[in-house]
Amino acid sequence: MDFLTLFAVYVAVVLTCIALVCRYSGQQQTPFSLLFNYISKLTAPFTPKWLQRFSQWTLHRLFHQRNNMFIYLHILLEGAVYAEFTYEVFGFCREMDTTLTSLSVPYVLLAVKSLFFYLCIKRDPGTVTKKRVAGQLQIYPYDRRMFHPGVSCPTCQLLKPARSKHCRVCNRCVQRFDHHCVWVNNCIGALNTRYFLLYLFSVCAMAGDIALLTGDMLLHAVLRSGLLRASYLDEHGQQQQAGPLFVIQHLFLTFPRIVFMLGFLVFVFFLLAGYALFHSYLALANQTSNEWYKSRGFVCRHCRPAAADHLCSPAPDRSRRHYYSRGIVQNLREIFFPPRPVHKKDN
C-alpha cells in the first residue's frame, strides 16, 4: 500500500469520525452501541464468563459511574501534544525567527484552559437538595410541555424544579441540567455552564494556535528546502516534478510525529469548534442540550394513541421550543450570572 492510499485512508477515517460524532452525539442508540451489542452476542458462546463480567463491569464503570479515567486521558493527550511541541516544533520555530511572544501563546492558553477545566470539575453544577429545592422551584416557570409542576424525582424523593433532570451517573438531580460530561467527570448545569463554555473555547484556541504554529513551521521547512522546485524519478525511471503529494509524503517521512500531531490537532479543533458553536447557540437561545434533544421529537408523556380527546398534541410544539429565551443579552447574562432564588423577608 503506497503513501497516497494510506494518507487517503487516514483523512477518510478522521472525516468519518467527525461526521459520526456530530450525527449521533447525545443519542442513546448509536451505531457504536448497536455494533458492540451485536459483537457481544456473537462472541458470548466463546467468551469466558469472567471476561464477560469484567468487560461489562469496565463499561459500566467508564460510562455509568463517576470516575477520573477520562480526566487522566485528557491530561495524557494534552501532555503528549505539548511535549512534542516543546521539544521539536519550538526549536524549529526559533530557528525560523518566530517571536517568543507567538511561541508563548500556547502556554498562556494552557494555563487559562487548565483554570476553566478545574472549575468544571470541582464546581457544583447546581445540585437539587432538600435545603435548596424550595428556592430552586422559584427560578424557572414550568412550560407544561417538557416540565410539569408537581413531578417528583423517584430517586431523590424531591420535587423537580423546571429544567432539572436526574443524572444517573452522578445520582443526583441538577438544576438547569445540560448533560453529563465524562471529560470533566461532572454534570454541566446552572452553576458551571459558563465555565464549560469558556473551557471549550480555550481548548479550541489552544489546538488552533499550536496547529497554526506547526503548519507555519512545516511551510517554512518546505520553502527553505526548495522542494517545490525539485524533481524525482518515478518507478518507471522518468523524471517528475515534485507536487503537493510528494511534499506531503516527504514531510510525513521527515517529521512523522509532528505531522501526526498536526493531524490530531486539526481533528480536535474542528470537532470541538463544532461542539462549542452548538453550545453557543444553546446559550444564545437559553436552551440546554437536554431540552434541545427533547424538542427534536417531543411526545407528551401523558398522551397515548387511544387518547384522541387529550388536549396535548403528540407532535413537537416548535413555537415553544425557546420557551425560556428572554433575548440574547438576557440569555447570556443568565449563563454567566446564574439567577439565584429570591428569599422573601418576613414582615
Strand partners, 180: 187
Q: Which residues of 86-103 are buried (b: 16+ CB within 10 A; e: fewer)?
A: eebbbebbeeeebeeeeb
- Count of beta carbons in the 10 Å neighbourhood of residue 59: 12
CA angle in degrees (0–180, nearest 5) for 197-199-200 = 65
Among candidate residues 81, 122, 23, the one with its CA nearest the CA of residue 208: 81
DSSP 106: H
- The residue type of 11 is V
Q: Classify residue 286 by burial, with Cβ atoms within 10 Å: 0-12, 13-18, 19+.
A: buried
E strands present in 137-209: 165-167, 172-174, 179-181, 186-188
**Looking at 173, 181, 187, 300, which residue is catalytic?**
181
Do 202 and 113 touch, CB atoms closer than 8 A?
A: yes
Strand partners, 179: 188
SS3 content of the chain, % helix, strand, coil (to 5): 60, 5, 35
300 is catalytic: no
Do 208 and 216 touch, CB atoms closer than 8 A?
A: no
Residues serving a catalytic function are: 181
